[in-house]
């Protein structure tokens, strides 16, 4: 009762407007408004400046990239309709869509793309700026409908980084010659996407409405409301009561998801996500894990199926190998953990003895604020105790933890999770590349193999996927044997929405491509 009351109170204003527009008494359709939950006010609504999750969520409705990635990672045309690349991967050529306008009515052109890359993405985007620098990208516009990229060296995942999250295209006429970080358009964005920004009530909600001038078929929803719901438990409760129409996995407490999957009024998409792995990194400079036999012992001792069942409530896949199993094209069953390291505490004890382990306790450092890591740490502690290796848990605040792991290297074991961002070369190579210095979120293990480095570099450049797969299979043979890090599980996300919505989630990222979403006619 209360629910329907608030729902009415909520839509009352818009209904009133429709009536005022002069169609009283008619059985007009109520405006179709979808309510999506986000966790907090985003720091900005400009996805070129921040990789904040909510920024990307709102931004992906308003802005567009040159391409978007479908559920199987195939690039689909967005602001670019065609693209070609030079055989060595150093040149990319994009043909832009005709007749695209910005939300303020100004025409879109190649100048906007060049400006966005040179003046905004290369300077401010947390991920893309580094990539553009590393590959030495130059961007030019030979004419108003063409953009040409020249790279100093090939870069296999180039296209993957052209999506709205890594390379949203901004309007040059609004940002040129301004202080980009302080531009008011960061709070009132102007994009080319299916929805345009209407208003933002801090701490409450952000509204976007259909862009009638969008180049595609007009969006199926009149309006999207991003409702700010700070309590995680409330976001799942809101889905159950119907107060919220859709929530992306990121905002939901893991323990609630199995229950939500049983809910008859909800639909969900499971396990289709940009791969991310949770892993246990060994400090190979410490006596306990200097030898590979002791690392292999740990691999034989940790019950990865139990981690999946109890920590992730079944919403994960047990560790497969050095790069997880998120990228199906690079897998090779013969050398997988399942073959090499089946759960076997007796074998583990033997390997430990062989490594000359002295029985001293080892430290396990992890980020205290993440409940999944705490549960994982407790199971690791339990499993290793069973083979005679006492583990001292050290949950630390994130900044302290990073300092201890990546700068001071003061740990024996640590739990980390790395996001692939769509390609092993973007997100996973850092786990194994030789690391000198104290850069955070890289290879903290002290493991260094020039041959591995060389092959990783080759895999990052090669534009041909079969060729890359071959390199990654060779690498897995070495890395699964050496085990500088043990991949514990691959995350499986579950995105939820009301059954009343159709046309959901065509993209790999659930936040992307909402133009085709609509309420089912009933």
Q: What does the binding site for other proteins look like in residue numbers (CB under 8 A)?
A: 2, 5-7, 9-10, 35, 37, 43, 204-205, 227, 229-231, 233-234, 237-238, 241, 243-244, 253, 255-256, 259, 306, 309-311, 368-369, 371, 374-375, 378-379, 381-382, 385-386, 392-395, 397-400
| Closer residue to other proteins (CB): 143 or 392 | 392
**In the bound complex, what is the minimum distance in angstroms from residue 165's beta carbon to other proteins?**
22
Quick check: 263 and 75 in contact, CB under 8 A? no
| Closer residue to other proteins (CB): 236 or 420 | 236
**In the bound complex, what is the minimum distance in angstroms from residue 310's beta carbon to other proteins?**
5
**In the bound complex, what is the minimum distance in angstroms from residue 253's beta carbon to other proteins?**
6
Alpha-carbon gap, residue 444 to 406, rounded angstroms: 6
**In the bound complex, what is the minimum distance in angstroms from residue 163's beta carbon to other proteins?**
26
| Closer residue to other proteins (CB): 87 or 203 | 203
Alpha-carbon gap, residue 324 to 372, rounded angstroms: 18
Alpha-carbon gap, residue 58 to 486, rounded angstroms: 36
Alpha-carbon gap, residue 322 to 427, rounded angstroms: 13
| Closer residue to other proteins (CB): 206 or 456 | 206
**In the bound complex, what is the minimum distance in angstroms from residue 382's beta carbon to other proteins?**
5
**In the bound complex, what is the minimum distance in angstroms from residue 343's beta carbon to other proteins?**
12
| Closer residue to other proteins (CB): 114 or 379 | 379
Give Cα 180 distance to the centre of its chain: 25
Kindly give the interhelix angle for 450-461 and 465-482, rounded to the nearest 10 degrees: 160
3-state SS, residue 447: coil
| Closer residue to other proteins (CB): 133 or 385 | 385
Question: 394-398 long-range CB contacts below 8 Å, 24 or more apart?
Answer: 394/363, 394/364, 394/365, 394/366, 395/366, 395/367, 395/368, 396/365, 396/366, 396/367, 396/368, 397/367, 397/368, 397/369, 398/367, 398/368, 398/369
**In the bound complex, what is the minimum distance in angstroms from residue 249's beta carbon to other proteins?**
16
Closest CA to 35 of 234, 171, 211: 234
| Closer residue to other proteins (CB): 152 or 369 | 369
3-state SS, residue 295: helix
């Amino acid at each position: 009762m209360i629910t329907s009351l608030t729902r009415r109170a909520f839509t009352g204003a818009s209904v009133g407007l429709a009536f005022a527009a002069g169609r009283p008494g008619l059985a007009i359709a109520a405006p179709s408004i979808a309510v999506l939950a986000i966790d907090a006010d985003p720091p900005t609504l400009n996805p070129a400046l921040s990789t904040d999750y909510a920024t990307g969520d709102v931004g992906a409705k308003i802005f567009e990239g040159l391409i978007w990635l479908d559920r199987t990672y195939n690039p689909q045309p967005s602001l670019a309709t065609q693209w070609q690349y030079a055989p060595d991967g150093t040149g990319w050529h994009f043909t832009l869509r005709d007749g695209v306008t910005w939300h303020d009515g100004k025409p879109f052109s190649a100048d906007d793309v060049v400006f966005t890359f040179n003046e905004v993405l290369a300077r401010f985007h947390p991920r893309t700026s580094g990539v553009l620098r590393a590959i030495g990208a130059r961007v030019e516009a030979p004419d108003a409908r063409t953009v040409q990229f020249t790279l100093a060296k090939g870069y296999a995942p180039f296209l993957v980084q052209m999506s709205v999250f890594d390379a949203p295209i901004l309007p040059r006429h609004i940002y040129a010659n301004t202080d980009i970080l302080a531009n008011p358009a960061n709070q009132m964005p102007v994009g080319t996407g299916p929805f345009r920004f209407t208003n933002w009530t801090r701490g409450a909600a952000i509204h976007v409405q259909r862009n009638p001038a969008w180049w595609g078929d007009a969006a199926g929803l009149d309006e999207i409301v991003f409702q700010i719901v700070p309590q995680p438990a409330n976001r799942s409760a809101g889905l159950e009561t119907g107060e919220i129409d859709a929530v992306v996995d990121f905002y939901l407490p893991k323990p609630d998801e199995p229950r939500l999957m049983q809910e008859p009024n909800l639909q969900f998409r499971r396990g289709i996500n940009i791969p991310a792995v949770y892993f246990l990194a060994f400090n190979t400079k410490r006596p306990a894990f200097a030898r590979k036999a002791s690392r292999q012992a740990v691999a034989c001792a940790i019950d990865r199926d139990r981690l999946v069942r109890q920590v992730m409530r079944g919403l994960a896949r047990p560790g497969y190998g050095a790069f997880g199993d998120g990228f199906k094209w690079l897998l090779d069953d013969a050398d997988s953990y399942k073959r090499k390291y089946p759960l076997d505490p007796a074998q583990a004890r033997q390997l430990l003895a062989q490594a000359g382990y002295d029985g001293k306790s080892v430290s396990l450092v992890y980020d205290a604020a993440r409940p999944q890591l705490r549960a994982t740490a407790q199971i690791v502690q339990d499993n290793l105790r069973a083979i005679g290796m006492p583990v001292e848990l050290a949950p630390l605040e994130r900044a302290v933890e990073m300092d201890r792991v990546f700068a001071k290297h003061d740990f024996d074991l640590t739990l980390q999770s790395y996001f692939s961002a769509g390609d092993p070369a973007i997100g996973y190579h850092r786990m194994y590349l030789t690391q000198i210095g104290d850069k955070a979120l890289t290879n903290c293990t002290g493991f260094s193999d020039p041959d591995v480095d060389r092959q990783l570099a080759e895999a990052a450049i090669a534009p041909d996927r079969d060729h890359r797969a071959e390199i990654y299979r060779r690498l897995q043979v070495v890395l699964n044997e050496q085990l500088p890090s043990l991949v514990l599980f691959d995350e499986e996300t579950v995105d939820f929405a009301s059954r009343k919505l159709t046309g959901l989630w065509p993209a790999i990222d659930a936040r992307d491509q909402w133009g085709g979403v609509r309420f089912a006619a009933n």
